[in-house]
Protein backbone atom coordinates (compact mmCIF):
# COMPACT_ATOMS: atom_id res chain seq x y z
CA UNK A 1 0.00 0.00 0.00
CA UNK A 2 1.62 3.18 -1.15
CA UNK A 3 0.72 6.80 -1.05
CA UNK A 4 -1.39 7.57 -4.09
CA UNK A 5 -1.97 11.30 -3.51
CA UNK A 6 -1.26 13.85 -0.87
CA UNK A 7 -3.75 16.57 0.09
CA UNK A 8 -3.79 19.26 2.78
CA UNK A 9 -6.57 17.41 4.56
CA UNK A 10 -5.47 13.83 4.09
CA UNK A 11 -3.09 11.39 2.54
CA UNK A 12 -4.83 9.05 0.12
CA UNK A 13 -3.70 5.49 0.58
CA UNK A 14 -4.44 2.91 -2.14
CA UNK A 15 -7.27 0.63 -0.96
CA UNK A 16 -8.62 2.58 1.96
CA UNK A 17 -8.08 6.00 0.45
CA UNK A 18 -11.65 7.16 0.40
CA UNK A 19 -12.42 5.90 3.88
CA UNK A 20 -9.24 7.44 5.36
CA UNK A 21 -9.82 10.77 3.69
CA UNK A 22 -13.47 10.88 4.76
CA UNK A 23 -12.53 10.12 8.36
CA UNK A 24 -9.97 12.92 8.40
CA UNK A 25 -12.40 15.39 6.79
CA UNK A 26 -15.15 14.35 9.22
CA UNK A 27 -12.75 14.81 12.16
CA UNK A 28 -11.86 18.30 10.89
CA UNK A 29 -15.53 19.22 10.53
CA UNK A 30 -16.17 18.03 14.07
CA UNK A 31 -13.28 20.18 15.32
CA UNK A 32 -14.61 23.23 13.48
CA UNK A 33 -18.09 22.60 14.88
CA UNK A 34 -16.67 22.16 18.37
CA UNK A 35 -14.71 25.41 18.16
CA UNK A 36 -17.77 27.21 16.77
CA UNK A 37 -19.97 25.91 19.59
CA UNK A 38 -17.33 26.88 22.15
CA UNK A 39 -17.10 30.43 20.80
CA UNK A 40 -20.89 30.74 20.72
CA UNK A 41 -21.10 29.50 24.32
CA UNK A 42 -18.49 32.02 25.42
CA UNK A 43 -20.45 34.78 23.68
CA UNK A 44 -23.67 33.79 25.46
CA UNK A 45 -21.83 33.52 28.78
CA UNK A 46 -20.28 36.97 28.36
CA UNK A 47 -23.72 38.44 27.66
CA UNK A 48 -25.18 36.92 30.80
CA UNK A 49 -22.18 38.04 32.87
CA UNK A 50 -22.74 41.64 31.75
CA UNK A 51 -26.39 41.40 32.71
CA UNK A 52 -25.57 39.80 36.06
CA UNK A 53 -22.85 42.28 37.00
CA UNK A 54 -25.15 45.14 38.11
CA UNK A 55 -27.20 42.69 40.19
CA UNK A 56 -24.03 41.45 41.88
CA UNK A 57 -22.95 45.05 42.52
CA UNK A 58 -26.35 45.88 44.02
CA UNK A 59 -26.16 42.80 46.26
CA UNK A 60 -22.71 43.85 47.47
CA UNK A 61 -23.83 47.44 48.09
CA UNK A 62 -26.88 46.21 50.00
CA UNK A 63 -24.73 43.91 52.14
CA UNK A 64 -22.25 46.73 52.84
CA UNK A 65 -25.02 49.09 53.90
CA UNK A 66 -26.76 46.41 55.99
CA UNK A 67 -23.55 45.54 57.84
CA UNK A 68 -22.05 49.03 58.29
CA UNK A 69 -24.90 51.57 58.17
CA UNK A 70 -24.52 52.35 61.87
CA UNK A 71 -20.99 53.67 61.29
CA UNK A 72 -21.69 55.56 58.04
CA UNK A 73 -20.76 59.23 57.93
CA UNK A 74 -22.52 61.73 55.69
CA UNK A 75 -19.75 61.22 53.11
CA UNK A 76 -20.26 57.44 53.28
CA UNK A 77 -23.99 57.86 52.64
CA UNK A 78 -23.31 60.15 49.67
CA UNK A 79 -20.85 57.62 48.23
CA UNK A 80 -23.30 54.75 48.77
CA UNK A 81 -26.08 56.70 47.07
CA UNK A 82 -23.81 57.58 44.13
CA UNK A 83 -22.93 53.87 43.75
CA UNK A 84 -26.63 53.01 43.93
CA UNK A 85 -27.51 55.53 41.21
CA UNK A 86 -24.74 54.18 38.95
CA UNK A 87 -25.88 50.58 39.42
CA UNK A 88 -29.50 51.49 38.65
CA UNK A 89 -28.35 53.35 35.52
CA UNK A 90 -26.32 50.31 34.43
CA UNK A 91 -29.35 48.05 34.89
CA UNK A 92 -31.32 50.11 32.40
CA UNK A 93 -29.13 48.64 29.64
CA UNK A 94 -30.48 45.11 30.15
CA UNK A 95 -33.75 43.22 30.10
CA UNK A 96 -34.39 41.06 33.15
CA UNK A 97 -36.69 38.13 33.82
CA UNK A 98 -39.54 38.42 36.33
CA UNK A 99 -37.46 36.49 38.87
CA UNK A 100 -34.47 38.81 38.40
CA UNK A 101 -36.72 41.88 38.56
CA UNK A 102 -38.19 40.68 41.85
CA UNK A 103 -34.71 40.15 43.30
CA UNK A 104 -33.61 43.59 42.07
CA UNK A 105 -36.73 45.15 43.60
CA UNK A 106 -36.02 43.61 47.00
CA UNK A 107 -32.41 44.83 46.94
CA UNK A 108 -33.43 48.32 45.80
CA UNK A 109 -36.14 48.45 48.48
CA UNK A 110 -33.64 47.54 51.18
CA UNK A 111 -31.15 50.17 49.97
CA UNK A 112 -33.81 52.88 49.75
CA UNK A 113 -35.05 51.90 53.22
CA UNK A 114 -31.58 52.46 54.66
CA UNK A 115 -31.23 55.74 52.73
CA UNK A 116 -34.56 56.96 54.17
CA UNK A 117 -33.65 55.80 57.67
CA UNK A 118 -30.40 57.77 57.39
CA UNK A 119 -32.23 60.86 56.17
CA UNK A 120 -34.72 60.70 59.04
CA UNK A 121 -31.87 60.17 61.50
CA UNK A 122 -30.12 63.26 60.18
CA UNK A 123 -33.29 65.27 60.91
CA UNK A 124 -33.06 64.50 64.64
CA UNK A 125 -32.59 67.75 66.48
CA UNK A 126 -33.77 69.83 63.56
CA UNK A 127 -37.13 70.43 65.24
CA UNK A 128 -35.63 72.99 67.59
CA UNK A 129 -33.92 74.70 64.66
CA UNK A 130 -37.20 74.85 62.74
CA UNK A 131 -39.01 76.19 65.85
CA UNK A 132 -36.33 78.85 66.26
CA UNK A 133 -36.61 79.75 62.58
CA UNK A 134 -40.36 80.28 62.81
CA UNK A 135 -40.03 82.21 66.08
CA UNK A 136 -37.55 84.53 64.39
CA UNK A 137 -39.74 84.82 61.30
CA UNK A 138 -42.83 85.62 63.41
CA UNK A 139 -40.87 88.20 65.43
CA UNK A 140 -39.75 89.91 62.23
CA UNK A 141 -43.23 89.85 60.71
CA UNK A 142 -44.81 91.22 63.94
CA UNK A 143 -42.57 94.31 63.94
In DSSP notation, 56-92 reads HHHHHHHHHHHHHGGG--HHHHHHHHHHHHHHHHHHT
**What does pLDDT average to over the chain?**
80
End-to-end CA, the chain:
122
Is residue 88 domain-resident?
yes
- Number of domains observed in the structure of the chain: 1
Is residue 115 domain-resident?
yes
Percent of the residues in the chain that have a pLDDT greater than 70, as a whole number:
71
Per-range mean pLDDT, top range of 8-12, 21-25, 99-103, 136-140: 99-103
Instruction: Give tens-digit pLDDT for 49-88.
Output: 578 999 999 999 999 999 999 999 999 999 999 999 999 9
| Parent domain of 44 | 3-124
Is residue 118 domain-resident?
yes
State the pLDDT confidence band at 134, using cuts at 50, 70 and 90: confident
Instruction: Give tens-digit pLDDT for 8-44.
Output: 555 545 555 555 555 555 666 677 776 777 676 666 6
Is residue 35 domain-resident?
yes
Is residue 41 domain-resident?
yes
Is residue 142 domain-resident?
no
Amino acid sequence: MGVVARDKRCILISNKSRVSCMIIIRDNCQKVMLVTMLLFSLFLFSCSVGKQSPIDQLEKLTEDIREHHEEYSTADWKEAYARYEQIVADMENYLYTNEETEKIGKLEGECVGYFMKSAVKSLDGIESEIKGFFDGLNKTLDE
